[in-house]
Structure 1
């Protein structure tokens, strides 16, 4: 842990005090800055500071250490500005960042950049705008002449940069003036590359103060309005909503103007009453999370089986930090989570509830909200930067002792975590691929729990092999739930042979007879259907029937996916798009056809097969908006959608009473992906999506369309035989040295020149071979997709012995050698990407 004393006096030197500052840039160490005497008394570890970096850049950094040793390599610049009176980041977070940078082979500045919301990082690109809630005539703060100059300028301009403010005031730096204006709530800061700060504002109405102070004045008002029916009615409605006779203090807050208008009053009547001084109209900035209040928390009762599982989890927690809850789909894991959260919150500790992605949060957040109300904060990528800052501040202040969020939630400023729950812990969405740090949130959460001395509960119906292995090795506790909650039955599985139906001419629009019959039966019974296909777009690719030409991305080594909406072909790696060609670019033929099927095409096919059905699609294309998932799921839950077609989003945690049929369009595509985890992923995805069917009394049906119904993996899925499938797969992994028996590190070498990328990769392999540890090095090989965004990619896979300090030592040497390699002029422009525990 960090020292309690602020100043590190282990080495004294001339020249006063210095601060080591973490900067959001990919550099291997903290930079040292001189602390001015006037700031010395205010400095604390974890505060944000504004500093010069390089010739022109101004960045926000975090104070990581304070000492009296000046840097030897350069002259320390002074700190520009302290941005906080209290720390924004606590010492435990800095320790966690340090661990993450070392474990995942990146720099602490890259971790900081990922951890802090943009609203907490200012730079030379930062700008200011007038606070929409600022009234120059009612402000309680006096403005000095320089502050007034900036405010006057903002009356005519929407925004000003820091640099423009300095020029306007003829100062080298205007930071202290801007800081004062922020403190006086006159301006707001935003980042040029992000959206402006847009506070949530309500227009409110209240009765003028004179009618509250004098009862006679209010009575006189009623007499005055007695012949003006609409205005009198408006006044009466207001008094019904705000009982000022009983509680006159309620008038100060007034009512939301929108609510007043919804009662039937016209905007013109309100405007007239404001004009003549009966009402006052004012604006109020409100929290985006004020709507999470719950008057009567919903009580959760556990069944006997759930209670036994919860007691088993608590018993394991007596001896072990981490427990794996292996409960089949529909077994009632969420109720156990809720009970454990209640106990931890009652003890005064914090709880972090991790979910793999936003698709899952909608239903679970609603369930948790009914229990925990305003104690709960929600944190995910679809939130605006302003909302993320608000949750960060809510955790700091203690307003949100419970946070439900995605992988980035592990960076929030917790100071007393008691429990971390990682739901659906097997999900690949927990792995961050780009940019650095390329962490796995499940593994990072276990370390975060260790630092806080908190318990970690991993939950899944299909655990990752790594977690199940750790549980069988008794590193984790293991609790298993083999039955569904209540009277719910496991679904019936049907293996529907695509090739057999094709021979018999029963295959219509890529659907087998069995799938069509089950969908029709569900529609006849007014039940719902989920169709799963893990590929979005209309068709995976387009080709020429004459010569076989396939349009490819100009910047990546992949074919373009055809999207019928917009009639364009898109690259799902770099975003490149172009219109569907009218003729072949190779031979000139007009015989251009689409091949394969994505969710868009399946949606179209189903609408032709079942014209009476209401069909919707859930994939990245239909859920880009902030509330896209939520609206779709609400519609589905209300019964406004009969068939929901989707990618892996539909496999995760959805719980709907009326879903009785699940169809998997092309199971073989999941199974035969070129990855040693393909079998594990196929088992997980098919089991998870199958678990959406028949979650109440009625038994559901799962139709798996396949060209190989005899494949043993399908029998394991149908029987729900996870353990035997795990043992079979693990035998192969052990024989061929794959995780969890070894530690894997993948290094990608990228450059716009193919030859330089290949030479750099080969040179790095020669250097890695010289590291004296037990290891296997594979490659360099051209990546599966050899070029992305105009960069050629070669990959090196290192398999390390897990024993003792081998991985840690190898990582240190790897980073040292990459640094040396980039010092060579030939390889300086190469990008080396290190991925520890690649997904």
Structure 2
């Protein structure tokens, strides 16, 4: 309920005001007045309900309490306070401001992604009779729909707006509602509700009186001697909870579903409750225990070997002088064990720890193992959790329940108040970069800033560090510790190249499988070992084409061909989600000669089932892991050797540790190498090295077979030799020559609109503005990207390169923002949208 008219602020008393952060993309904070009765309850970091615009109710965060009213508009009152303790602390607000400044967005956009949706409000429009309206005495002329609605509202308090259509039996109710509001017969209001609801479980327990003496219990059994079903429930309770010998267990009680779903009489239970033999109560249960049940991990006991112990000592020594250290440990070197010992030391000092992993697939094995070591002090935070689960972790961190959090990039926004260490595992991963919506932050870089605000330390870990991080370590801005030996003296896998160009000439290829790869798979299966096949493209085939006229189905909203998914016999756009049935005939010429081109994970799976019909095959990609715990289920089945061959996209390359994988096969490596991006070689080296690391993790030498049309490519030779240092030196030399990171900072500007001509014109004009203020050589483009239309928006990109050490970054960003605003102010460009991406991945 609204506390008072939000548009009326009296002049008769001294009023306090608040500047609030609203989760909308406005450049400035908005100021509201505080009602007198709420003044004691309004503090920085508290959530408040505010009216923004005419009818919009939003959750806002109090950023500052002030004495002065706004200068250019009449302040509205805040409507309510939602907290007894701050939801956001001062350090979080500092971080939000840094993100907004650095990534050139608004603080409201930061808030929108920082706070779980469950901590925001929903508002539902409702319709009710105006209390001042008398249905029986009015003299209005009403049409049948108006009269029917008013008559219905007489008998109810209010109805949701979206139910009015159903009540009246018509599709459009707007004119009816508008007419009755105008004549003051009804009012439309917003019913505000908080989204978060704790999960509650209903339990039952015996009344304490029956546990006070043996006689009381004997009398109870005597009273139920002829009531067999009630007696059965009592016996079930006593068998599950030995309360006669341990009365304290009675406080815990038994879940009601143990009775209602256990074959016992529900009506008999209700009688026992009615007669006050049992009592019913509710307890709040964490939703975070489900993942524990979905993954089975043996007891996790380990001792650091001499090399790991030395690495730990080196890290601790570096932290005495530097705040950031890079741990470069080859695949299988035991970085996780080093993390665990480091976490133990920080937690023992009473500080909090955040361990970041790039994707949810990593949390299954790692988190369950960490729980074995750290117990219930570990909180898990990731995007697959529901709103309510994320709120539980948020509150758990704020209340000190979870001093140790394992999470994806969004976990950086949790309300830490005593952070001592941030570990960024697989720091090279591109999934640490947020693409949409703004802010387009990089979690690795943000972790360093967050740690600085808390006076904490940062450990970056990777077998294939990003070029930028390794460069900073080599130039001594970061510390560097290297683990160059696999744990337990396990050897790195042997790399083999299958020359598919030669095999195709010799006709030894079977569909997409070279003879070398297919023979390797059969050999592993004969030894009861497992195989991982990596193809970084999901679906059955990249596209369909007509053999007669070369027609290819395209997305009607994006400038890409549609990917064929055979399982559902449909074509899908992986950019906007558009889908349509797969055609049997060419739409252009009518020919039935429509064939697939290229290969995706689905096609590899299908072909393997034909080639190896007795083999247990599973696919792990976006299509097979949409359900909440499907990742964990697939990983668990593979660990337990219920799957022989696992086919997947990048998901299979990331940090998973399997005992029985002896072979890894890699498809389509040439497409990755030649992708038009300055990071393509880096990504290829990282992906192949990471996926190769899944092979031969124990005493047996693993094997990796890479299918390529040119085994002599330099990048593949670096992979063959497991030679990160040579790869790094070559990559840094090239980037220095052509002014790419780490020698420059890049700001990418994507101009978009629904008109190709407008986009083109706006991008060219923006380039002129930028060159005039920043310099000719620093602005590249504009150019239409490879995919120049997504969701009916045409795109054209500009790249701004800013040399490190030579350019004032803050001033340069200000100039860029000014030129963007200059363009937007022009009448012809008001329908143009410009996406700013600082440090694009």
Residue 288 of structure 1 and its aligned partner are, at CA, apart by 1.4
Residue 123 of structure 1 and its aligned partner are, at CA, apart by 5.0
1:571 pairs with 570, 573, 585, which one? 573
The 8 Å contact of residues 203 and 282 in structure 2, kept in 1 or not, is answered as yes
Counting only pairs closer than 5 Å after superposition, residues 341-380 of structure 1 correspond to structure 2 as: 341-380=343-382
2:486 pairs with 484, 487, 507, which one? 484
1:821 pairs with 811, 817, 823, which one? 823
Q: Given the alignment of the two structures, is residue 54 of structure 1 paired with residue 37 of structure 2, yes or no?
A: no
Q: Distance in 2 between matches of 1:169 and 1:249?
A: 60
The 8 Å contact of residues 333 and 459 in structure 1, kept in 2 or not, is answered as yes
Alignment partner, residue 695 of structure 1: 697
Comparing 225-234 with 390-399, greater Cα deviation is found at 225-234
Comparing 213-222 with 278-287, greater Cα deviation is found at 278-287
In structure 2, do the counterparts of structure 1 residues 444 and 126 end up closer, same or farther at CA, with 3 Å as the change threshold?
A: farther
Q: Distance in 2 between matches of 1:297 and 1:90?
A: 37
Q: Distance in 2 between matches of 1:546 and 1:293?
A: 55
Q: Distance in 2 between matches of 1:85 and 1:153?
A: 33
In structure 2, do the counterparts of structure 1 residues 169 and 628 end up closer, same or farther at CA, with 3 Å as the change threshold?
A: farther
The 8 Å contact of residues 119 and 194 in structure 2, kept in 1 or not, is answered as no
Alignment partner, residue 10 of structure 1: none
Residue 622 of structure 1 and its aligned partner are, at CA, apart by 0.4
Alignment partner, residue 454 of structure 1: 456
Comparing 15-24 with 446-455, greater Cα deviation is found at 15-24
The 8 Å contact of residues 618 and 646 in structure 2, kept in 1 or not, is answered as yes
The 8 Å contact of residues 126 and 160 in structure 2, kept in 1 or not, is answered as no
Deviations 1:299-357 (A, max 9, x none): 54211111000000111111111000000000000011111111111111111111101
Q: Distance in 2 between matches of 1:494 and 1:271?
A: 70
Q: Distance in 2 between matches of 1:487 and 1:250?
A: 50
The 8 Å contact of residues 126 and 189 in structure 2, kept in 1 or not, is answered as no
Residue 817 of structure 1 and its aligned partner are, at CA, apart by 2.2
Q: Distance in 2 between matches of 1:269 and 1:486?
A: 61
Alignment partner, residue 399 of structure 1: 401
Q: Which runs of 5+ in 2 are unaligned?
A: 1-11, 128-152, 165-176
In structure 2, do the counterparts of structure 1 residues 772 and 796 end up closer, same or farther at CA, with 3 Å as the change threshold?
A: closer
Alignment partner, residue 145 of structure 1: none
Q: Distance in 1 between matches of 2:618 and 2:784?
A: 39
TM-score when scaled to structure 2? Answer: 0.88
Q: Distance in 1 between matches of 2:575 and 2:566?
A: 18
Q: Distance in 1 between matches of 2:79 and 2:65?
A: 16
The 8 Å contact of residues 231 and 269 in structure 1, kept in 2 or not, is answered as yes
Counting only pairs closer than 5 Å after superposition, residues 327-338 of structure 1 correspond to structure 2 as: 327-338=329-340
Residue 153 of structure 1 and its aligned partner are, at CA, apart by 6.8
Q: How many residues matched? A: 783
Residue 583 of structure 1 and its aligned partner are, at CA, apart by 1.5
Q: Given the alignment of the two structures, is residue 747 of structure 1 paired with residue 749 of structure 2, yes or no?
A: yes
Alignment RMSD (CA, Å)? 3.0
Deviations 1:60-92 (A, max 9, x none): 111111222322221222212122122110111
2:772 pairs with 747, 770, 778, which one? 770
Q: Distance in 1 between matches of 2:314 and 2:760?
A: 53
Q: Distance in 1 between matches of 2:232 and 2:444?
A: 59
Q: Given the alignment of the two structures, is residue 218 of structure 1 paired with residue 220 of structure 2, yes or no?
A: no
The 8 Å contact of residues 25 and 113 in structure 1, kept in 2 or not, is answered as yes
Alignment partner, residue 8 of structure 1: none
Comparing 260-269 with 309-318, greater Cα deviation is found at 260-269
Alignment partner, residue 468 of structure 1: 470
Deviations 1:425-471 (A, max 9, x none): 00000000111000000001111111111100000000000000000
Alignment partner, residue 627 of structure 2: 625
Alignment partner, residue 678 of structure 1: 680
Q: Distance in 2 between matches of 1:57 and 1:487?
A: 63
Q: Distance in 1 between matches of 2:107 and 2:553?
A: 42
Alignment partner, residue 63 of structure 1: 62
Deviations 1:467-495 (A, max 9, x none): 00000110000000001101322111111
Counting only pairs closer than 5 Å after superposition, residues 171-570 of structure 1 correspond to structure 2 as: 189-190=194-195, 199-213=198-212, 215-223=214-222, 234-259=233-258, 278-289=277-288, 300-570=302-572
Q: Distance in 2 between matches of 1:402 and 1:126?
A: 41
The 8 Å contact of residues 47 and 60 in structure 2, kept in 1 or not, is answered as yes
Q: Distance in 2 between matches of 1:515 and 1:486?
A: 28
Q: Distance in 2 between matches of 1:504 and 1:200?
A: 63
SS in 2 for 1:588: coil
Q: Distance in 1 between matches of 2:289 and 2:438?
A: 34
Deviations 1:507-533 (A, max 9, x none): 112101111111111111211111000
Q: Distance in 2 between matches of 1:269 and 1:370?
A: 42
Comparing 609-618 with 270-279, greater Cα deviation is found at 270-279
In structure 2, do the counterparts of structure 1 residues 260 and 302 end up closer, same or farther at CA, with 3 Å as the change threshold?
A: farther
Q: Distance in 1 between matches of 2:458 and 2:446?
A: 11
In structure 2, do the counterparts of structure 1 residues 715 and 289 end up closer, same or farther at CA, with 3 Å as the change threshold?
A: same
Alignment partner, residue 181 of structure 1: none
SS in 2 for 1:318: coil
1:718 pairs with 720, 736, 758, which one? 720
Q: Distance in 1 between matches of 2:60 and 2:654?
A: 38
Q: Distance in 2 between matches of 1:406 and 1:109?
A: 21
In structure 2, do the counterparts of structure 1 residues 817 and 157 end up closer, same or farther at CA, with 3 Å as the change threshold?
A: closer
Deviations 1:88-114 (A, max 9, x none): 101111110100001001011000101
Residue 267 of structure 1 and its aligned partner are, at CA, apart by 6.9
Q: Distance in 2 between matches of 1:14 and 1:758?
A: 56
Alignment partner, residue 135 of structure 1: none
The 8 Å contact of residues 660 and 693 in structure 1, kept in 2 or not, is answered as yes
Alignment partner, residue 78 of structure 2: 79
The 8 Å contact of residues 433 and 443 in structure 2, kept in 1 or not, is answered as yes
Residue 48 of structure 1 and its aligned partner are, at CA, apart by 0.9
SS in 2 for 1:446: helix
Q: Distance in 1 between matches of 2:56 and 2:159?
A: 28
In structure 2, do the counterparts of structure 1 residues 210 and 55 end up closer, same or farther at CA, with 3 Å as the change threshold?
A: same
TM-score when scaled to structure 1? Answer: 0.88
Comparing 820-829 with 591-600, greater Cα deviation is found at 820-829
Residue 274 of structure 1 and its aligned partner are, at CA, apart by 5.7
Alignment partner, residue 104 of structure 1: 103
Residue 16 of structure 1 and its aligned partner are, at CA, apart by 3.5
SS in 2 for 1:779: strand
Alignment partner, residue 669 of structure 1: 671
Q: Distance in 2 between matches of 1:169 and 1:396?
A: 47
Q: Distance in 2 between matches of 1:450 and 1:404?
A: 19
Alignment partner, residue 651 of structure 1: 653
Residue 210 of structure 1 and its aligned partner are, at CA, apart by 4.1
The 8 Å contact of residues 470 and 476 in structure 1, kept in 2 or not, is answered as yes
In structure 2, do the counterparts of structure 1 residues 478 and 601 end up closer, same or farther at CA, with 3 Å as the change threshold?
A: same
Residue 214 of structure 1 and its aligned partner are, at CA, apart by 5.2
Q: Distance in 2 between matches of 1:658 and 1:387?
A: 34
Comparing 240-249 with 330-339, greater Cα deviation is found at 240-249
Q: Which runs of 5+ in 1 are unaligned?
A: 1-12, 129-149, 179-187, 191-196
SS in 1 for 2:314: helix
SS in 1 for 2:48: strand
Residue 231 of structure 1 and its aligned partner are, at CA, apart by 6.0
The 8 Å contact of residues 615 and 642 in structure 1, kept in 2 or not, is answered as yes
Comparing 575-584 with 31-40, greater Cα deviation is found at 31-40
Alignment partner, residue 729 of structure 1: 731
Q: Distance in 1 between matches of 2:527 and 2:301?
A: 33
In structure 2, do the counterparts of structure 1 residues 299 and 493 end up closer, same or farther at CA, with 3 Å as the change threshold?
A: closer
The 8 Å contact of residues 23 and 109 in structure 2, kept in 1 or not, is answered as yes
Deviations 1:5-61 (A, max 9, x none): xxxxxxxx9963221111111111101112233333332111111111122211111
Residue 748 of structure 1 and its aligned partner are, at CA, apart by 0.1
